[in-house]
Structure 1
Amino acid sequence: MQALSGKILIVDDDPIQRRLLQEAVHKFGYRSKTAENGAEAVRIMTGPEASEIDLIILDMVMPELDGLGVLERLRADKISTPVIVQTAHGGIDTVVSVMNAGAQDFAVKPVAPERLNVSIRNLLKTSALEGEITRIQKKASGTLTFADIITHSPAMERVINLGKRAAASNIPILIEGESGVGKEMIASAIQGSSDRKSKPLITVNCGAIPDNLVESILFGHEKGAFTGAVDKHVGKFQEAHGGTLFLDEVGELPQDVQVKLLRAIQENEIDPIGSRRPVKVDFRLISATNRRLIDQVKDSAFREDLYYRLNVFPIWIPPLRDRREDIPALVRHFLARFAAEEGKPQVSGVAQDALAMLQEYAWPGNIRQLQNTVFRAVVLCDGAQLTIDDFPQVSAAIEHPGSQSGVLPPSVAAPFAAAPQDPAAVTPPPPAQPGAPTVANTTTPAGFEGSAPFGFMRNLDPEGHVRKLTDIEEEIIRAAIKHYSGRMTEVAKRLGIGRSTLYRKLKEYGLDDGGTDAAA
């Protein structure tokens, strides 16, 4: 698979110069688009193609609309794409003019290819870092929008279009998708694109709250309502008053809390524990899950009436393996961030063969796994760019697909092939068994040359003898912890044992109950 890196717009009225720049840009590993004059460049950058352009190489002297005119038009429209201006006339007055007009770099023709490559690489890195800072600031202030989401994928464009339509109303939204695909980011963008922007966005991870504390945390309690309630506590619903409440992993809510949630949605009021009267709340509800709620309804684990209240406007986010064209931009984004955080400014790019390898990998942990992988690579890197050697785990998965969880066999990958196409679909088809490892079981004991697909276990050891019961028990406990994302109550329930028994077995087998919650 050929890696697709940043896209550069080349603006020059000289066809020879355009061709030379194109060849240089392609040699550096970037894609390109050309414009014959300034007016065409402005048209591209103010149209739908602008989202694909990461950098502009702009000629200074052109008929009709020159380089300065293009810069003024772009900055007037608040287009912040970095620009390298090049001209045959390198006087100090010219340099000052173009830099004041908003250019990030200036080069005198003929520019050396090495000089141009360094400039492009540094500007793309700086742009990615500035974008990350902007996203963090916007997310903190509740003003993150869909324009801040990094994507070049048609599948994600459908998600964004649905999100924009949902943001225009107060309709309850259910976001479905595997762990690590960016459900909270979409929720933040919906909030920041609605009339509730700048108001609170309160996030609650329902799967991380102990069952006996869920009601108090969500709805609050009065002083003295129960033993230990020494002060009045305002719940998450009241914290979200005027804004948005985001319930992540909503399928983990206990049945008794589901009843109170249904009433809160229907009546826009809650009953804090110990309160004599209900409290009116104004909130926008966004729910998310990495499991199919309809399956939980069929298993009587989730209330059917609540399901239909939450599933009014479903949005399904495709996994990263179904939108690999997003990987180069995400890698550059994470690289800029971690290079700055780790004090490694010299790390400013990714080798093309490494980027191609990253696009070939299936990313079972999705964007969260990609982020952690780039972080590790930046820490390992000693050169100016990330290479294949900086991604040893991914490299091993690509070279030995039968023993790693990042390469999907066709029979397993098939259920994920089709993304929902109809924006009006009531229940889009998320992957079967979301949240589960989608491929080979990574818990195969040492000494096995291969591993069985998830859901299957080997009965025989490498010598052909029947495996010990303790080994099989340890393996199935590992698989259950990974399958249920470390939710020990659910693990114990599905294994048919008590939690105390589960923790005792974890201790016996030397398993870390907190470390198998899985990447993403």
Structure 2
Amino acid sequence: MDQISGRILVVDDDPIQRRLLEEAAKRFGYRVRTAENGLEALNIMSGPEGGDIDVMILDLVMPELDGMGVITKLRESRIGVPIIVQTAHAGIETAVNAIRAGAQDFVVKPVSPERLEVSVRNLLRASALEGEITRIRKQTAGTFTFDDIVTRSEAMERVLRVGRRAATSQIPILIEGESGVGKELVARAIQGTSDRRARPFVTVNCGAIPEHLVESILFGHEKGAFTGAVEKHTGKFQEAHGGTLFLDEVGELPLDIQVKLLRALQEGEIDPIGARRPARIDFRLISATNRRLIDLVKEGRFREDLYYRLNVFPIWLPPLRDRIEDIPDLLRHFLARFAAEEGKPQVRSVAPDAMNMLMAYHWPGNIRQLENAVFRAVVLCDGDHLQVEDFPQIASALEPGSSRHAAPGTPARQPIAETPAAELERREAAATPEPPSAAASGFSASLPPFGFIRSHDDEGHIRSLATIEEEMIRAAIDHYSGRMTEVARRLAIGRSTLYRKLKDYGLEETADRDAAE
């Protein structure tokens, strides 16, 4: 049973056939729209509902405008919706003509529900894979646009409308949102929609550059400018000349580099290290951050004048938990791509209980986490449907009583249905007496409760912030097994800041050992 939840348009002048096809498609988990004739079908496909249709089931013999006429007009309008044609008059010539006209499959009335399901499922999968290939090619060519972003949610539609307006000017843009929501994708869409399309699109992750290399990487250097500068290096600003420079995690830039970035924005020129004269540059700047820059300004870690230069046109991307209607489409695209990459063409869909589970999860890592979860599930899957057990981390997070991944300030989501075995284990656990709580047994300073950090020292005085910070960093390194990117993200600091603190507290060896283990 396919729960990718595509939408099907059934076009047939026979009300009985329409009803039968509609009920069959709904039984297999699809959303259905019907049309009584070819003209109504064309109106639907050319209107606002057209973009929501994933597959069309089209009768060939209809009054006024027959199925062949519908196919011809759709293809003339460059509407590439996959089409399954059906007719009571079977024949090789009819099938060949329909396929040549632009249909993808051909069935004979009365079509069995099983045959219909296989056809629809295959077309959805092929369409998703084709879409992924097209998007990758467009990203490579610099022609990726907002139309290529996979979404159905109203929240994202507002983002796309604002992004299209921003693309028509040279205004600096600041894209804000949590990690993994697709900020770089929106930046590429702005580039591909602007008059700088097909020009350089240069991406820089400011949080991944060591502090002593930031200036050289961004602005470049001349040969002999410093020890080790054996040849001239062109910086990212000059690489982006004529195109777009995308600064991800812009809040991680050191203060001295922020000054040079401000000058580049104001004057349109940069000073490569060791250069005798400034270099003129023409670039469109798009910045992104997963933190509130205004908070960094208040903390004195980000220049206020630069903040106002970057925040001219802010775009905020909602997290995936606020647009769960996008999950089925994203799943379909990721599934098609990874099934092809991993050589598992038999993995075609997601089982209903697995889909319900994925829709209930709140996705703290957003689209990036969903993509990785589908990748892992495809590797684990032994059948033709992704099951709950193929998403072990998601399933464990949604177990009854689990709140490890609950979104701050939001109620816990409904857990997935328990199997009889799981319910039995839960009842047995409930019947087993629990050990005394920390409150009942008294506080033990040598063995504090899990996750507890003391606020007082042994003499009863408040501990210093530096001591507590060091202990928190140690705990984070241990908890996330030395994965420093995750440690920095959970502590809400940049990686460069984290490494500086590791050096200050003498924790570099601890981090290296945990990462190796």
What residue ranges of structure 1 are gaps of 5+ in the alignment? Answer: 415-448, 450-457, 516-520
Question: What does the per-residue CA deviation read over 1:110-153, in whole Å, with 9 as the maximum and x for residues that have no partner?
Answer: 11111110111111011000000000000000000111000000
Deviation at 1:497, TM superposition (A): 5.8
Q: Which residue of the partner structure matches residue 440 of structure 1?
A: none
Kindly provide the amino acid, as one letter, of the partner of residue 502 in structure 1: L
Kindly provide the amino acid, as one letter, of the partner of residue 88 in structure 2: A
Q: Which residue of the partner structure matches residue 127 of structure 1?
A: 127
For the residues of structure 1 that align with 2:133 and 2:349, how far apart are their CA atoms? Answer: 19
For the residues of structure 1 that align with 2:439 and 2:476, how far apart are their CA atoms? Answer: 15
For the residues of structure 1 that align with 2:446 and 2:9, how far apart are their CA atoms? Answer: 61
Kindly provide the amino acid, as one letter, of the partner of residue 325 in structure 2: E
Deviation at 1:487, TM superposition (A): 4.1
Question: What does the per-residue CA deviation read over 1:385-437, in whole Å, with 9 as the maximum and x for residues that have no partner?
Answer: 111121121112112353432x33645899xxxxxxxxxxxxxxxxxxxxxxx
Deviation at 1:78, TM superposition (A): 1.3
Structure with greater Cα Rg: 2
For the residues of structure 2 that align with 1:329 and 1:388, how far apart are their CA atoms? Answer: 18
Distance 1:512 1:97, change over 3 A: same
Residue 511, structure 1, aligned to residue 514, structure 2 = yes
Q: Which residue of the partner structure matches residue 430 of structure 1?
A: none
Residue 265, structure 1, aligned to residue 265, structure 2 = yes
Question: What does the per-residue CA deviation read over 1:56-108, in whole Å, with 9 as the maximum and x for residues that have no partner?
Answer: 11111111111111111111111111111111112111111110011110000
Q: Which residue of the partner structure matches residue 238 of structure 2?
A: 238
Distance 1:489 1:177, change over 3 A: same
For the residues of structure 2 that align with 1:280 and 1:34, how far apart are their CA atoms? Answer: 59
- Report if aligned partners of 1:11, 1:36 keep a CA contact under 8 Å in 2: yes
For the residues of structure 2 that align with 1:292 and 1:330, how far apart are their CA atoms? Answer: 27
Q: Which residue of the partner structure matches residue 156 of structure 2?
A: 156
| Identical-residue share of aligned pairs (%) | 64
- Report if aligned partners of 1:203, 1:246 keep a CA contact under 8 Å in 2: yes
For the residues of structure 2 that align with 1:467 and 1:131, how far apart are their CA atoms? Answer: 57
Distance 1:401 1:140, change over 3 A: farther
Kindly provide the amino acid, as one letter, of the partner of residue 182 in structure 2: G
Q: Which residue of the partner structure matches residue 452 of structure 1?
A: none
Superposed counterparts of 1:409-420, under 5 Å: 410-411=409-410
For the residues of structure 1 that align with 2:439 and 2:209, how far apart are their CA atoms? Answer: 40
- Report if aligned partners of 1:129, 1:333 keep a CA contact under 8 Å in 2: yes
Residue 490, structure 1, aligned to residue 471, structure 2 = no
Residue 398, structure 1, aligned to residue 377, structure 2 = no
Deviation at 1:50, TM superposition (A): 1.4
Question: What does the per-residue CA deviation read over 1:437-469, in whole Å, with 9 as the maximum and x for residues that have no partner?
Answer: xxxxxxxxxxxx9xxxxxxxx998999634548
- Report if aligned partners of 1:271, 1:278 keep a CA contact under 8 Å in 2: yes
Kindly provide the amino acid, as one letter, of the partner of residue 101 in structure 1: A
Q: Which residue of the partner structure matches residue 205 of structure 2?
A: 205
Q: Which residue of the partner structure matches residue 41 of structure 1?
A: 41
Distance 1:344 1:24, change over 3 A: same
For the residues of structure 2 that align with 1:11 and 1:488, how far apart are their CA atoms? Answer: 56
For the residues of structure 1 that align with 2:247 and 2:60, how far apart are their CA atoms? Answer: 52
Q: Which residue of the partner structure matches residue 446 of structure 1?
A: none
Deviation at 1:311, TM superposition (A): 0.4
Superposed counterparts of 1:203-352, under 5 Å: 203-352=203-352
For the residues of structure 2 that align with 1:230 and 1:76, how far apart are their CA atoms? Answer: 58
Kindly provide the amino acid, as one letter, of the partner of residue 507 in structure 2: L
SS at match of 1:162: helix
Distance 1:401 1:50, change over 3 A: farther
Q: Which residue of the partner structure matches residue 465 of structure 1?
A: 444
Q: 2:507 aligns with which of 470, 489, 502?
A: 502
Bigger Cα displacement from structure 2, 469-478 vs 5-14: 469-478
For the residues of structure 1 that align with 2:353 and 2:166, how far apart are their CA atoms? Answer: 40
- Report if aligned partners of 2:210, 2:496 keep a CA contact under 8 Å in 1: no
For the residues of structure 2 that align with 1:33 and 1:412, how far apart are their CA atoms? Answer: 34
Deviation at 1:500, TM superposition (A): 6.4
Deviation at 1:481, TM superposition (A): 3.5
For the residues of structure 2 that align with 1:488 and 1:138, how far apart are their CA atoms? Answer: 31
Number of aligned residues: 465
SS at match of 1:504: helix
SS at match of 2:25: helix
For the residues of structure 2 that align with 1:379 and 1:261, how far apart are their CA atoms? Answer: 44
For the residues of structure 2 that align with 1:386 and 1:411, how far apart are their CA atoms? Answer: 28
Q: TM-score, normalised by structure 1?
A: 0.85
SS at match of 1:287: strand
Bigger Cα displacement from structure 2, 351-360 vs 322-331: 351-360
SS at match of 1:84: strand
Superposed counterparts of 1:420-431, under 5 Å: none
Deviation at 1:512, TM superposition (A): 2.0
For the residues of structure 1 that align with 2:146 and 2:195, how far apart are their CA atoms? Answer: 14
Residue 27, structure 1, aligned to residue 17, structure 2 = no
For the residues of structure 2 that align with 1:463 and 1:103, how far apart are their CA atoms? Answer: 74
For the residues of structure 1 that align with 2:369 and 2:130, how far apart are their CA atoms? Answer: 22
For the residues of structure 1 that align with 2:135 and 2:446, how far apart are their CA atoms? Answer: 51
Distance 1:409 1:280, change over 3 A: closer
For the residues of structure 2 that align with 1:485 and 1:175, how far apart are their CA atoms? Answer: 18
Question: What does the per-residue CA deviation read over 1:193-231, in whole Å, with 9 as the maximum and x for residues that have no partner?
Answer: 111111111000000000111111111111111111111
- Report if aligned partners of 2:151, 2:326 keep a CA contact under 8 Å in 1: yes
Superposed counterparts of 1:378-397, under 5 Å: 378-397=378-397
Kindly provide the amino acid, as one letter, of the partner of residue 515 in structure 2: D
RMSD: 2.4
Question: What does the per-residue CA deviation read over 1:157-211, in whole Å, with 9 as the maximum and x for residues that have no partner?
Answer: 0000010000011110000000000000000000001111111110000000001
What residue ranges of structure 2 are gaps of 5+ in the alignment? Answer: 414-428, 430-436, 454-470, 480-486
